[in-house]
Structure 1
Amino acid sequence: MSLSILLTRPLQSQRPRPPRAPPTHPHCESCYSRRCRARPEVSACCSLGPCPLLCGAVFHLCKEAEHALLCPNRRVPCLNAAYGCPLAMTRDALAAHLRRCPASVVCCSMEWNRWPADDGHTHPCRELHHNLMREHGQGASPDLDLALALRDQDHLFHSLRMKTLFPELCSRRDERHRQDKRKEEKQQQEEKQQQEEEMRKRMDMEEKERREAARRQTREDGADRPDGGGTWDHMSWVSIRKEEEEGEEEEPSQEEREAVARGSWENPEVLRSYTAWERMFNMDMGSCREAAAANRSGGAEEGAGPCTPREDEPPETSAEHRGRFVYGHLEPMKIINVRTFMVPTSFVARQSRNRHPAFYQRESRGVDTRDLGVGVEDMPVWEEVQASLLCSLEKEQRGHLIAEGLCTDPLLQDQGSQTYSFLSAPFADDARLADLTAGRPPELHMQLQLEGVTSRHHKASSAFTFLCGRSFPRQEYGKHFRNVHSDIQTCVSGWFEQRCPLAYLGCTYSQRRFQPSTHKATITYDQHTGCLSLRPTLPGCQTGDSDPPGTPTPPPLVLCHLASFLDSLSLTQLALVSRLLRDVCSSLLQDRGMVTLRWTKETSSHGGATWRVGQKVWEFSTLFSPVSEWCFQDVPHMSEHLKVCCFYQREHRSQRIQLPCVGDKLPTKMLHENPTLVTSFKNKVIL
């Protein structure tokens, strides 16, 4: 047995197999009493016995395999064994294990929307964004709203492919391969057409040979018959002679059709249809003979056919030649074009925007940039980020399309197009928007404010939707959603983090108002993990201090005990310090970590694709220490900042301003001359 087979069968060998079920007995199938006193017989009943795992059950021995499926003391694998859980336990411990099973993973489905920074429906805060990005470029720690906005912007830029948005501006690296493929397909098509043409010529030659054989047979039959008038066989022979003399091909005669039918047609359906048409033709010939006989008996001239010529045409254009009738004059049929669509009489076009097509002539023509009278080199150049965001919003389900066909009238439809020109074009086939902005100074193209929505709510148009998508063990998901999304993310603008009221002018001052009620800590954003973290504030502790040389390393058991008090995010960071701490954190994976499956795509030889489990990944989540209650921090009020804010400019006015209705009192008589609502009701006067 090979080594690969041995490595792929350990899970199957570890699974306990129930004992093979012996044949049941008629009495044992319906007996469930623990004190059964039936006498054991070979073919009717067996003796009672207890469970070998001492669960307390007593049953007939032939039901041991059935009891193994329900025994609470039997060791079975976890219900999530197919999803990566390697643990096996007794059946009665499965329910308690599922609460902390490492394979019971939940993916966060929280969604939120962000609008572009230059959205037309809101006031753009260009000065604030410029100042924030300048401080961020100088190494300052970004605020929570700015850090989350930059994270969402980075995810968005990595998801926008330039080939999807602007396929006409991408570089044609594989254009030569496509041209070769087109040439190959064209060559194959030409070869196929050539083969079909040769097959068609071969079939025509065989058909011609069969016709020649039928003609020779007709000549032999005509030579054996005496000369007689009015026979169709004789006229067919005359037509064949005429065809040979003139060298023209005419319709095959009756004998030729019969010869072809006898020689090549073997389909009974074709023969049946052919016989029906021959019967109809014979009936027409019979009617022509009766009409000719009636004309002769009525004193018609000898030799006149049933189809007599018109009075205004020569008699030689229509004649009867030994039973063969020729129509000498045929009038062409007039072809009339009928329009099936008619405009309803009740239809009225919109004269304000569209013209009625019945009164005005229209011309359909394509509009290009050349119609603008501007050269290609003088065309305005677009900025890649703004154009990409705009075109991406066009493809949203509830977005507004620029080049969308608009139908405002049942008969008219307007179509538009948009032309773009970029300095960085042509783009690579695999280029993303993040690749184009990699070497540029950082800019903020998303708004700081966000709106938390779910898939069950109606989303606003022209907004980008972002998904959390992080995985957590089932017992940690509720804590993550409460602290990260409910407490911080949805309240970061104005409540959890408060900015200066003059931020719209460019002031970047902000303060974080809340902290955990149990200890002092600050919420920060970790750029490496891309998530929020809780950093405790310890008095007298300086970051970056190292232990003096010669300090002994704690034993691994002590390290494992200390690591058990850390949260999942701290364990993730601790595992990156050294190999020893990585081994210490690995010992806590089954209790604190989670396991996920990584799928790989495999392509078979015949072109099909299948997905298989490539590996099982053990990791910790990004959950920080849960906070059950928040309290206000001891920070000064925002009014203290306004006293020194450079954007707060006071205007001192010394000139007096007269307020309305101040100084002169109105006469009391004028106030009571007109009747009021109260006096009207008292005097019962109807106004």
Structure 2
Amino acid sequence: MSYQSRRSRASREQQHVHCDSCYNRRCRARVQASVCCAVTPCRLHCGALFHQCKEEEHLLLCPNVRVPCLNAGYGCQLHMPRSSRAAHLQVCSASVVCCSMEWLRWPTDETNPHNNIVLKENAMKEREEKGEALDLAMALVDQSDLYDRLKMKPLYPELMEEEEEEIMEDEEDKKAEEALVADTNNNEESAAAGESEKRVVEYTVSPPFTLNLKNYNLCEMMFGMEKGACTVAQAEHNDPKQNPQNDERAKAQKQQGGASQKTCADQKDGKTPDANCPPPDTSKTGHAPWQEGVLDRLGRDLTPQEYNMYVVHHGRMLVSFGQIPACTPREKDFVYGSLEPIPVQTLRSFKVPDSYHYRRRVHLYDLAARAQSEPRSVDTSDLGASEEDWYSDEAEATLLGYAEEAVMGHKISESKAADGLYVDLGTQTHSFRTAPFKAKTTLAEVTVDRPLKLRLELQAESVNSRHNRASCAFTFICGHAFLRREFATHFRNVHCDIQAGLNGWFEQRCPLAYLGCTYSQRRFHPSTQKAIVSYNLQLKTFNLCPTLVASAKSSDSATCQKKRGSPGGEDPLSCLPYEVLCHMASFLDSLSLSQLALVSKLMRQVCSSQLQERGMVTLRWERESCSRRGSKWKATPVWEFSYLFSPVDSWHMSDIPPISAHLKVCPYYETSLHSKRVPLPSMNEKQESSEERISLVKHFTGNRGKQ
């Protein structure tokens, strides 16, 4: 608090001249009215001593004052001493962190035979019988998420159906524009009459449109100032005092015009034998890059700034036409002879002039290298394909289109200009059975009734600077929320240990997987307990499934049913007392608690007893509609458990046979037994007769004989 604020507070209550500048804990000044007050200790026993008039200021800094948590706006309702807030943040239920781990997963290239296409087909057939592998389950979840995000309209705008709502919105927009123009005219008339009232215009459209006349008049004034500046600049440009070059140019044009008029007049009088007046020669006065002496004329007619801008914009053409030398000595790319006028009737009727000689510098411009084409009217039936082959698969075509845009940076069949004359036009037509699509149709809605097929790669890649979440559609994010103290464990166990080792370390596939073998084994398990790592498709996260031996007997279940008196029976766990269930729930991890709370009402009450210690508070945003203000978003704090399984500090190798044991019984491992003798290269008749090359046996035998 500044000195002036303290003086204002003191003058408001009591004028204590001594207290405003005294910070001595052992002040012995005499108590006087309007001068000094007594020194008192803090009522909350924090140990501070101060003048009594400073008690209000001390409460703003006292460490024993109970204040709300720093995350009170995020749902934490606890109040604690100010000195305990820092330690509370480590265990605060509202201190939530969202995992932002990202990875890439590209579509399958079916043209490449090494992309394990047969493996994916076999794995999709056997996943219900043998269970899903970790990489396969994660790829299916990523594909489902991708289908929900990919929309059909950006790739196929011509296959969209026009809805009635869009037509009505267009008509309403037109009506609003007409009303806006009419009201603007009325506002201009009222402003000319001297009315200075501010009006807000309301239109009966949805949503209601309002016009702020203050902002409109401000914009009109800004554009009027710019228009006035342009007028002044044009007047200065035409003024002969400011620009003498314009005066000389006007005189030269007048002289040329007078000479041409005189020539034509003489021809009309019969002084010349030609009946038609020849056109004036303007080849030496133009500023086109291909005309001779253009740089000399530009130096005389333009200012240095305009001359530099001209060279910057037309430098490539000036180099091509030989007006200025290039950086490296090369031949001229373009050579023009005499220019002949060509009438342009339509956009497609333009023809390259005969005097245009094309000397290529890049192989893309070579006309001989282009595919020879011939214009001909053909139909789809001329291709010799059946009607079933006309239709394309929506998922395959959409993934290919988005992959082309992500990798190449442009859409498929995008028009590309090779130079100023040649433009490569690309067209791509698609025939889909489900077309036309609605405006907000996604790929998941199109393929909802199709058999499930994996179209993404099993191996995931790391995100780079080019393909990130904002620019690439094939980027996936974890997105799960955890407490701040749980985030380090989640990132280490899930992303570093499990997900990073799915390419052959944590989960190992058969070496003959490229031929279609679906065998895989999980090589690691937690060191503290016997459990198997699995992937939950509904929760989109990894979890630990303990391998326990069933110890409950059928007699216990029957006893529990008799005790409860219910014919249907309940699980034996519900027969236990409530206190015992709460004690057992304290040993479960957060993921198990979140799933146990969904079993029954009793288990939900048992799990709710662990919310204060194990739960977290998140904000759930809901949209509420209001009659006057349209709609607004409202946040509601919600208690829930995170998806964190028991922390694993170290992993041990599983006691399973090695992958070589599977190769002995692998159906795709076919051995070829050769019974026919195959001669070695040294046993060839030609080599035996040759003296230059001898066998190894003769070589060592000869050496021993010499020794």
Query: Structure 1 length normalisation: TM-score?
Result: 0.66
Query: Once the 2 structures are TM-superposed, how far is the Cα of residue 662 of structure 1 from its aligned partner?
Result: 6.2
The answer as to whether partners of 2:69 and 2:80 remain within 8 angstroms in 1 is yes
Indicate whether 1:33 and 2:24 are aligned. Answer: yes
The answer as to whether partners of 1:103 and 1:594 remain within 8 angstroms in 2 is yes
Query: Once the 2 structures are TM-superposed, how far is the Cα of residue 627 of structure 1 from its aligned partner?
Result: 0.3
Greater CA drift, 555-564 or 380-389: 555-564
Greater CA drift, 542-551 or 519-528: 542-551
Which of 468, 473, 482 in structure 2 is aligned with 1:472?
482
Query: Once the 2 structures are TM-superposed, how far is the Cα of residue 100 of structure 1 from its aligned partner?
Result: 1.2
Query: Once the 2 structures are TM-superposed, how far is the Cα of residue 122 of structure 1 from its aligned partner?
Result: 6.8
Indicate whether 1:114 and 2:90 are aligned. Answer: no
In 2, distance between residues paired with 1:395 and 1:530?
Answer: 28
Indicate whether 1:103 and 2:94 are aligned. Answer: yes
Which of 125, 128, 143 in structure 1 is aligned with 2:119?
128
In 1, distance between residues paired with 2:529 and 2:82?
Answer: 42
The answer as to whether partners of 1:21 and 1:62 remain within 8 angstroms in 2 is no
Cα RMSD over matched residues?
4.5
Identify if the C-alpha distance between structure 1 residues 545 and 391 changes in structure 2 by more than 3 Å, giving closer, same or farther. Answer: farther
Query: Residue 115 of structure 1: SS of its match in structure 2?
Result: coil
Q: Which residue of 2 aligns with 1:227?
A: none
Query: Once the 2 structures are TM-superposed, how far is the Cα of residue 23 of structure 1 from its aligned partner?
Result: 4.7
Query: Residue 406 of structure 2: SS of its match in structure 1?
Result: coil
Indicate whether 1:68 and 2:59 are aligned. Answer: yes
Q: Which residue of 2 aligns with 1:354?
A: 365
CA deviations over 1:169-210 (Å, ceiling 9, x no partner) = 133332xx444555666678899999999xxxxxxxxxxxxx
Query: Once the 2 structures are TM-superposed, how far is the Cα of residue 462 of structure 1 from its aligned partner?
Result: 8.7
What is the number of residues matched between the two proteins?
Answer: 521
Identify if the C-alpha distance between structure 1 residues 513 and 186 changes in structure 2 by more than 3 Å, giving closer, same or farther. Answer: closer
CA deviations over 1:290-326 (Å, ceiling 9, x no partner) = xxxxxxxxxxxxxxxxxxxx99999xxxxxxxxxxxx
CA deviations over 1:421-454 (Å, ceiling 9, x no partner) = 1112122333221122222221111111112336
Indicate whether 1:340 and 2:315 are aligned. Answer: no
Q: Which residue of 1 aligns with 2:662?
A: 641
Give ranges in structure 1 of 5+ residues lacking alignment.
1-19, 198-268, 277-309, 315-330, 357-364, 672-687
The answer as to whether partners of 1:560 and 1:584 remain within 8 angstroms in 2 is yes
The answer as to whether partners of 2:14 and 2:34 remain within 8 angstroms in 1 is no
In 2, distance between residues paired with 1:559 and 1:588?
Answer: 11
In 1, distance between residues paired with 2:175 and 2:595?
Answer: 61
Query: Residue 501 of structure 2: SS of its match in structure 1?
Result: coil
Query: Once the 2 structures are TM-superposed, how far is the Cα of residue 463 of structure 1 from its aligned partner?
Result: 8.1
Identify if the C-alpha distance between structure 1 residues 642 and 97 changes in structure 2 by more than 3 Å, giving closer, same or farther. Answer: same
Query: Once the 2 structures are TM-superposed, how far is the Cα of residue 409 of structure 1 from its aligned partner?
Result: 3.8
The answer as to whether partners of 1:116 and 1:463 remain within 8 angstroms in 2 is no
Query: Once the 2 structures are TM-superposed, how far is the Cα of residue 124 of structure 1 from its aligned partner?
Result: 2.6
Query: Once the 2 structures are TM-superposed, how far is the Cα of residue 34 of structure 1 from its aligned partner?
Result: 1.7
Identify if the C-alpha distance between structure 1 residues 57 and 403 changes in structure 2 by more than 3 Å, giving closer, same or farther. Answer: same
The answer as to whether partners of 1:406 and 1:415 remain within 8 angstroms in 2 is yes
Indicate whether 1:653 and 2:664 are aligned. Answer: no
Q: Which residue of 2 aligns with 1:155?
A: 145
In 2, distance between residues paired with 1:609 and 1:563?
Answer: 42
Identify if the C-alpha distance between structure 1 residues 125 and 543 changes in structure 2 by more than 3 Å, giving closer, same or farther. Answer: farther
Identify if the C-alpha distance between structure 1 residues 194 and 441 changes in structure 2 by more than 3 Å, giving closer, same or farther. Answer: closer
In 2, distance between residues paired with 1:639 and 1:335?
Answer: 90
Identify if the C-alpha distance between structure 1 residues 124 and 65 changes in structure 2 by more than 3 Å, giving closer, same or farther. Answer: same
CA deviations over 1:121-166 (Å, ceiling 9, x no partner) = 6723222111111112x45421111101111111111111223332
Query: Structure 2 length normalisation: TM-score?
Result: 0.65
Which of 607, 610, 623 in structure 1 is aligned with 2:644?
623
Amino acid at match of 1:655: K
In 2, distance between residues paired with 1:384 and 1:181?
Answer: 30
Structure whose alpha-carbon radius of gyration is higher: 1
In 1, distance between residues paired with 2:132 and 2:170?
Answer: 54
In 2, distance between residues paired with 1:498 and 1:377?
Answer: 44
Identify if the C-alpha distance between structure 1 residues 67 and 98 changes in structure 2 by more than 3 Å, giving closer, same or farther. Answer: same
Q: Which residue of 2 aligns with 1:594?
A: 616
Indicate whether 1:575 and 2:585 are aligned. Answer: no
The answer as to whether partners of 2:289 and 2:321 remain within 8 angstroms in 1 is no
Identify if the C-alpha distance between structure 1 residues 149 and 596 changes in structure 2 by more than 3 Å, giving closer, same or farther. Answer: same
The answer as to whether partners of 1:112 and 1:454 remain within 8 angstroms in 2 is no
Identify if the C-alpha distance between structure 1 residues 455 and 566 changes in structure 2 by more than 3 Å, giving closer, same or farther. Answer: farther
Which of 517, 542, 547 in structure 1 is aligned with 2:557?
547
Which of 525, 533, 536 in structure 2 is aligned with 1:515?
525
| Paired residues for 1:137-216 under 5 Å | 138-174=128-164, 177-180=165-168, 182=170
Query: Residue 92 of structure 1: SS of its match in structure 2?
Result: helix
Query: Once the 2 structures are TM-superposed, how far is the Cα of residue 102 of structure 1 from its aligned partner?
Result: 1.3
In 2, distance between residues paired with 1:54 and 1:185?
Answer: 69
Identify if the C-alpha distance between structure 1 residues 410 and 593 changes in structure 2 by more than 3 Å, giving closer, same or farther. Answer: farther
CA deviations over 1:633-672 (Å, ceiling 9, x no partner) = 100111111111111111000122233346879979999x
Q: Which residue of 2 aligns with 1:563?
A: 585
Which of 394, 400, 420 in structure 2 is aligned with 1:390?
400
Identify if the C-alpha distance between structure 1 residues 312 and 55 changes in structure 2 by more than 3 Å, giving closer, same or farther. Answer: closer
Identify if the C-alpha distance between structure 1 residues 193 and 622 changes in structure 2 by more than 3 Å, giving closer, same or farther. Answer: closer
